[in-house]
Every structure is written in C-alpha cells, then in structure tokens.
C-alpha cells in the first residue's frame, strides 16, 4: 500500500520547482493533491501533470498572505477531497540581492509577508482540519539560509530564520493533537528562484555564480527539486512518526563550507 493512499495533501507554491515536484511525489504515492499558487497558468500545468500521471489534483488560486484566501484553500480541500492530512507550506519568494543598507523597504516587507506570514497563516488555518482527522503533518519550507548568514539576502535570510522558529513553536503547541511539524532546509536547488538569484548576483555572467557556488558545495552541484520532494514526503509519512520540531538540511554540505 502506498504511504499516502487515501490522504489529502495541500501544497502551496505548487507551480514552482519544489512545489511541483512535491505534488507529483505525493500523488505518485497515492495522495490527492490540493495545489495552491497565484499563477493560474503554471498552477494549471501542475494539476495537469498530476492528472496525466494518474493522480487526483485540484488547483486553488490564492495569495498566501491573505487570511480569507488561505482559509478558502483549506475549505476547498475539505469540500473536494473530504479533509486535509498534510500541509506542505512551501510558497516563498527570494526578494532581491543588495547590501542591507540599500535593501528596498517594500521588497523587504513583501518577502516577510510571503515567507513568514504566509507560513503562519497556512498553519493557523489548517490546524482544525488536521484535528478532525485525528492529527496530521505540516512540513514548512525553510532554507539553509535560516541557519547561517546570508549576505545581500537580508530579508530572505531573516524570513527563513523565522520559519524555523515558528516550526519549533508549532511542533510543541500541536503535539498533543497528534500534529507533527517539521521543516526542510534546502541549499541551492535547480529552480527558478536560484536562476533569479544568479542573474541578480552577477548580471553580466550568471553562469559564473553557478560555477562559484558549485565550488562551495562539497557534493559539487545544485540539488534537484525531486530530491527535496523526497525528504518532504518522508517527513510527512508514518516513517517519521517520532520526528517533530526538526529542521532537515538538504544542501549538499554547503553549510559546512
């Protein structure tokens, strides 16, 4: 029997590399997917990919910083599939690359709204649905940037430190309800986000950023989204039944270098 048979998994940021890979991974293991994103076109692509692979998926367009829209995606999961068993709280943005003294205030606020408030709202509104199932799992996307200094990415780094803090707090608060809360901390992953950071960091030669970064990674390469999705699925599965409040690095060893 598949690990997620008869389970309902909500994935935010489902249009992006990690979110799409996670949607496909959970569906391949039997889950029904509620895919959440702001981009209607790319969200539709994720839903189609899940369905083409034989899975069940329902797309919801939502801004994760708006309470009513977060509440709506949880309600739609219940209306369409009967409940929620797992929330993969994955939506996030990178902001821009700049020294802290010249970092744009509006961008700073936006990064914290999406990456911090969005994660908090997801947890806030899914808790009752998880309680109705007798418990469940939340996996938040943090980052290696939440465990180390991130020069020129002050808002992103701050937001991911906050996600780790919220994960630990939620794990303790929700444990009596049978709800486990963990975080994944990816390093550099082969997604749109890292392409954006490459271009902002070395506009004249983004590939040089890739080269320099890979030289810092002991395993010598970026992660693939599917590798992160595998860790997410493990943490949301019964195999991780005694794991909560943990933040799992999946960074090729870059934090050690």
Strands (E) across 47-123 are located at 56-61, 86-89
* Positive/negative CA dihedral, 162, 243, 229, 43: negative
Instruction: Give tens-digit pLDDT for 142-173.
Output: 999 999 999 999 999 999 999 999 999 999 99
Decide which of 237 and 190 is more confident: 237
Domains, the chain, in order of start with CATH, read 8-189+223-256 (3.40.50.720)
pTM of the entire predicted model: 0.95
Task: Give the length of the chain.
Answer: 257
pLDDT at position 1: 55
Catalytic residue (one of 156, 209, 222, 248): 156
Average pLDDT, the chain: 96
Q: What percent of the chain has pLDDT over 90?
A: 89
Query: Is 156 one of the catalytic residues?
Result: yes
| Lowest-pLDDT range of 26-35, 85-94, 113-122, 202-211 | 202-211
Helix/strand number for the chain, H first, E second: 9, 7
């Amino acid at each position: 029997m598949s690990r997620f048979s008869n389970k309902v998994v909500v994935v935010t940021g489902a249009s992006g590399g990690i979110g799409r890979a996670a949607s496909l991974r959970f569906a391949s293991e039997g889950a029904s997917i509620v895919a959440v994103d702001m981009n209607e076109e790319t969200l539709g692509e994720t839903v189609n990919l899940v369905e083409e692979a034989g899975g069940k998926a329902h797309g919801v367009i939502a801004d994760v910083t708006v309470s009513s829209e977060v509440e709506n995606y949880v309600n739609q999961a219940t209306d369409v599939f009967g409940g929620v068993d797992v929330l993969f709280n994955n939506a996030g943005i990178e902001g821009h690359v700049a020294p802290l003294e010249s970092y744009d205030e509006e961008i700073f606020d936006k990064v914290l709204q999406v990456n911090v408030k969005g994660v908090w709202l997801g947890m806030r509104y899914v808790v009752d649905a998880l309680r109705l199932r007798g418990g469940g799992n939340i996996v938040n996307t943090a980052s290696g940037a939440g465990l180390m200094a991130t020069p020129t990415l002050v808002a992103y780094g701050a937001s991911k430190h906050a996600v780790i803090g919220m994960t630990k707090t939620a794990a303790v608060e929700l444990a009596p309800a049978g709800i486990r809360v963990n975080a994944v901390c990816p390093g550099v992953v082969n997604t749109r986000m890292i392409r954006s950071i490459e271009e902002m960091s070395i506009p004249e030669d983004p590939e040089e950023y890739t080269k320099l970064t890979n030289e810092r990674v002991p395993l010598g390469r970026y992660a693939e989204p599917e590798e992160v999705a595998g860790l997410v699925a493990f943490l949301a599965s019964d195999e991780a039944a005694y794991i909560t409040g943990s933040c799992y690095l999946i960074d090729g060893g870059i934090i050690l270098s």
